[in-house]
A and B are shown apart, each in its own frame.
Chain A
Amino acid sequence: MDQMDQKLLRERESKCIQENPPACTAGCPVHVDARGMAKAVQKEDYATGFALFNRMVPFPGIISRICNQPCRQTCKRNEIDESIFIKGLEQICVDNNNTAPKLLLPKAKTQKVAIVGAGLSGLTAALELSRKGYKVTVFEATDRLGGSIWDIAENKLPRQLIHNDFEIIAKFPIEIRYNTAINALDSLSAEYDAIYLATGFQLTGNSDLGLELASDGKIKVDLISLATNNNKVFVGGSLRREYGHPSPIASIADGKIAAISIDRLFQNASLTANREKEGLYETALYTNIKGIKPEPMVIAGDSDSGYSKTEAVQEANRCLLCECQECVKACEYLAHYRGYPKRYAREVYNNLSIVMGIHHANNMINSCSLCGLCEQICPGNLNMGEICHEARKIMVEKGKMPPSTHDFALRDMQFSNSDACALTRNQPGSSSSEWVFYPGCQLAASSPQYVQQMYSFLCERLSGGVGLLLGCCGAPASWAGQEAVFRETRNNLESNWRSLGSPKIITACPTCLSLFKNDSPDMPVENLWTLLERIGLPEGSTQLAKTPQKLAIHDSCTTRYDAEIQTSVRNLLGRLGYQIEELPLSRETTVCCGYGGLMLYANQEIAHKVIDRRINESELDYLAYCSMCRDNFASQGKRTYHLLDLILGGGEEDLATQAGPGYSKRQENRAKLKQTLVREVWGEEVAQPQAEVKVTIPADVLQLMEDRRILVDDVTNVIAHAESSGSKLKDARSGHYIAYFKPASVTYWVEYLPQADGFVVQNAYCHRIEIEG
């Protein structure tokens, strides 16, 4: 991947905010993973909870009792009822943990640090610096460690916890000098390479240290690094806070910040660069709290000893375990791979950078419908479809696109644009067209009769000549990332359109429409539905609805950014006498039917999940205005009308139930449509293509072929080849002939029997591995 790609990756990745910390962590001065801890407590896994706590807090026993919990201010639950009692969860983890953290003693370094004050802040800095190998000496004015924590009542902070927590100090080579008050820094400065002043609340005496003071009389401190005007002296803990507002956790945070600053000082690094997120900050994580029921905070039965295990679990269960996952909740494809777009984006980019090895993300890249719903839902507007689409183009360019994924769909497209189906004509009697009807390859395949009826209506209603263009708009090539094929298809389409006098295009398919709009802005286009709203419906269609009913509208995903067409469809339904129900996800947040992006070819499993979820959103019959949406839903048993079923088909009951035609039938319909139109509209004689051999296929075999994406033509070609060349096998036991033929990239096998003047197909299968001989 070049640098540009890397930059783009970072930009896209950063739009997904799922990995941002929850509000409690961002609101904790030392960023304790309180969400992880709550999750551990839910499972009564106290050791894990403790480890998460102790990773950030060096004195877990003490903090679990006396933390002032700034995290509770930011807890998302606060917006619903009361924030989680996080300290209580810390305490249950500390009290029930029976593991000891591993201590790693680093290689000793030469630099020496003086810590003044053995309170929480000083001891934290001492530990952190000793962990890095620096030689640390702590100067403490009294004869014990802990500073002001001894002022806290014993029932609030049992003394045994203090002793337990401070045992760790002895395990590091930290020198403690008790009863040693420091009143001046000169001698320390001479002996030590850095000094951390953490002497607690000081009402007086700051001026004696020779450090620059702020207007309030406190030592002037840089808030990011805790540096003072003396470059080797740092100041933190309660020393820099208002009297009477102690924050044990902030003192610990200061100790950590000072340790990092001192380490940076020794390494000649910037004291301030990239430290914005060391303290408190606002997280970018979005968590949807819609529909979450209020539950009051659990109160401990015995306030001194804290939560019982049962109480702790109950309180932990209130935790929302904040995360975003908005897009994942809405999209079966994103949910299928058990991650979220940030992770997926990285997998995609890794996949593209592999030179040798397995491309594990191919399937994921090719399974997205490219529908753009994620972008609509994502708080950061990340569009996974854009990433997958771009990846597909790169894969094709590099010759790394698995050939089997889109081959069938691309050949189907080629067939639609071949002489067998494609047509470019002016209206009979006209030499140029003001309009051209472009029904799209799928309407021609699913409902060829509507194409003919609608064309005749448009010719009658519109003046200036209405031409007809039959063919495919190139969407499959675009979805497959086949840029060269796509460009060629568009160029052919454009030159055909020009040959008609560059008329205004009327599309019946929302995908064709979106491609014209986005890819060919110079070609004026209008969709059939807004046009019909304007010029009126065919006569009689408003009287046709026999039993006016309520229909649930499924908007095609390619109309996502086209409110006009969505509104027209609704208005037309109103005129036809139908009532409308809006599905939960509609208009700009509509979902794909499982066909977009060639999802159905790349990953049938996900496509079926998508369809199943969509068709179960309402009990009502559905209304779609794209043939593929309609056929996909009907294929899984959902009664679905195409808008033209209501306009031209009278809304007959069985139109909603009818399964769409299979792959072979679709191609046959397109070819026959052309023949019929040329004969009936343009009055030309059409030579009927004669099949070489007569083939009969029983229904069960036809279904098998459909599942294996084998066309009737493929099977016919095998038999024709076998019969003309004599190259065939015979299974002596069943009497079946067996033959194979490879017209292009796929080898087709057919088992068949002769019957009267033709052949009956018994079985068909195929493979892409080539037989060399």
Chain B
Amino acid sequence: MSQILPAGTKAPDFTLRVTPDQTVSLSEFRGRPVILAFYPADWSPVCSDQMALYNEVLPEFQKHSAELMGISVDGVWCHSAFGKDRNLHFPLLADFEPKGAVARLYGSYRQEGVTERALFVIDKEGMIRWSYCSPVGVNPGADGILQALEALEK
């Protein structure tokens, strides 16, 4: 498993495509917490469960004004088909070109060419406050994210 960026590190800024004609930058969300969920691939069974779960827990994340973003090396058209099929209500970012560049910045890139299943909770000042790398075949659930969001408010 990769050494992902630990809590206490400043979250590296990035700009990625989120739809064929839109990009999103991490810095746009300064002032509110951000959850970055790196996952290996659209359509693979575990990721789908993970993203389906986050889709359901989204209202809880929003109680903390947190913005959730999924990130994989899949392209925007793939993300758009996947998001539509699964009825996802949060953005999927395409770390597509140069491939995995953002995942590498976060220490979440795997040799075989996909991202780790890694989670980052970033506070409103842009500091990583919690990170977690799950074995690639294991859906890490949502309880760690919720605990990290609650800890931000303490």
Chain A partners chain B: no
Tell me the B residues contacting A by CB distance below 8 Å: none
